[in-house]
Amino acid sequence: MSRDSRHVILAQISCPSPSNIFPSRINNINQDRPEKMIDKIDEDLLVCSACGTQFDTDDRAELSECYICKDPRQFIPPSGQAFSTLRTLKENSYRNEWRTIHENHQTGNHLYSIVTKPKFGIGQRAFLLKTPHGNILWDLIAFIDSETIEKIQSLGGLTGIVISHPHYYTTYVTWARHFKCPVYVSIEDMSWMTRQIVSDVDRHLIRESYATIIPGITAIKCGGHFPGSLVLHWTEDHGILFIADTIVTVPSGLNPSPRHSDQSTYTFMWSIPNMIPMSVDDIHQIWTRIKPYNFKRTFGAFEGLEVSPATIIDGDSKFEEFGLKKRLLDSMKIVAKQQSGGFEGHALFKESA
């Protein structure tokens, strides 16, 4: 089967009916609230301080807890559940910091990261992929202000926002409204979306394992961390893979070359903060989905989690690495072997890079 034939199939839902399409994790607290009123108060809607999820209410009495934080994959901080708003964050001098990661004036492809300072919520970064086919924002941060909007508009606006999984859905409605662009998420995870009764945001539900967002940029559905967890592949610079929380970069993956071939680069977690590992079956599925793609660099969700090729020492020989696929598979086998008590009977051990 060719890569193209497996691609695509995006369902566009621009006017979802919340009762049957989006079974909410919380009681639909805004069911009776007029939509126009919600439009007006975007800035004042409650945003979870621990994870950045924006809710459909500005009334703290309506919101006892954040369902993202309550899930076993996240946590309620020792200080308890707290909420802020975009307006409060702006008044408290939060800002978004930009970093230029890659510029290619021949192809016109540029890569930037955006992270909120001081840290808010989980602390992840978003990536802006600027291309001649349009600009894509990969993953999302809760904080958005006029400076961020102006900067993105000056780079050409957004063609789409692709969000890897529910931990980073955050304030997707506010972002989508400002840039008038669709938001792509996996259909498997749609019940985790808040802000379900707004009708002016295009939510594209990715149904298949692979979805071409624009030429050269493909969302790959790997599952594991969440049933619909995505990674994003970009053909630029011999392949760049944005791994979000689907694949976790470990400290030994960051050491400078030369490195040894039996060292792990990645691990695979159902819960990252609570350190609950993923099953070997889920790890194997991540491999089978990513296997058709080549990539030379990976970018994790947090600053500093960037892996590039290295000089590898394998026994007595030394070789220059040209891609990271073998390191991904080696890491999977290291984790799977420990989880299987040393037994190498799982089909994952028959895979080769």
Cα distances (angstroms) measured from residue 323 to each of 99, 125, 259, 293: 24, 24, 14, 10
Cβ burial of 169 (10 Å; 0-12, 13-18, 19+) is buried
Only segment of 63-71, 111-119, 206-214, 334-342 that touches Zn ion (CB under 5 A): 63-71
CB of 107 to Zn ion, least distance (A): 31
- Binding status of residue 45 toward Zn ion by CB under 5 A: no
Do 141 and 52 touch, CB atoms closer than 8 A? Answer: yes
For Zn ion, which is the closer residue by CB, 10 or 69? 69
Instruction: Give the per-residue SS3 of 62-131.
Output: HCCCCHHHHCCCCCCCCCCCCEECHHHHHHCCCEEEEEEEEEECCCCEEEEEEEEECCCCCCCCEEEEEE
Only segment of 35-43, 65-73, 93-101, 142-150 that touches Zn ion (CB under 5 A): 65-73
- Binding status of residue 245 toward Zn ion by CB under 5 A: yes
- Binding status of residue 236 toward Zn ion by CB under 5 A: no
CB of 67 to Zn ion, least distance (A): 8
Q: How far from the centroid of its chain's Cα atoms is residue 179's Cα?
A: 19
Q: Which of 50, 183, 310, 328 binds Zn ion (CB under 5 A)?
A: 50
Q: Which of 10, 69, 254, 313 binds Zn ion (CB under 5 A)?
A: 69
- Binding status of residue 26 toward Zn ion by CB under 5 A: no
- Binding status of residue 46 toward Zn ion by CB under 5 A: no
- Binding status of residue 128 toward Zn ion by CB under 5 A: no
Only segment of 145-153, 162-170, 202-210, 329-337 that touches Zn ion (CB under 5 A): 162-170
CB of 151 to Zn ion, least distance (A): 26
Give me the residue label for tokens 């390191």.
327
Cβ burial of 33 (10 Å; 0-12, 13-18, 19+) is middle
Only segment of 89-97, 195-203, 239-247, 340-348 that touches Zn ion (CB under 5 A): 239-247
SS3 230: strand
Kind and range of the H or E run holding 35: helix 35-40
Give me the residue label for tokens 């692979």.
210
Q: Which of 110, 167, 327, 333 binds Zn ion (CB under 5 A)?
A: 167
CB of 189 to Zn ion, least distance (A): 11
For Zn ion, which is the closer residue by CB, 68 or 89? 68
Quote the tokens at residue 104. 């290619």
The residue type found at 44 is D
- Binding status of residue 269 toward Zn ion by CB under 5 A: no
C-alpha dihedral (217, 223, 226, 227), degrees to nearest 10:
110
Q: Which of 48, 211, 278, 335 binds Zn ion (CB under 5 A)?
A: 48
- Binding status of residue 51 toward Zn ion by CB under 5 A: yes
Tell me which residues touch Zn ion (CB under 5 A). Answer: 48, 50-51, 53, 66, 68-69, 167, 245
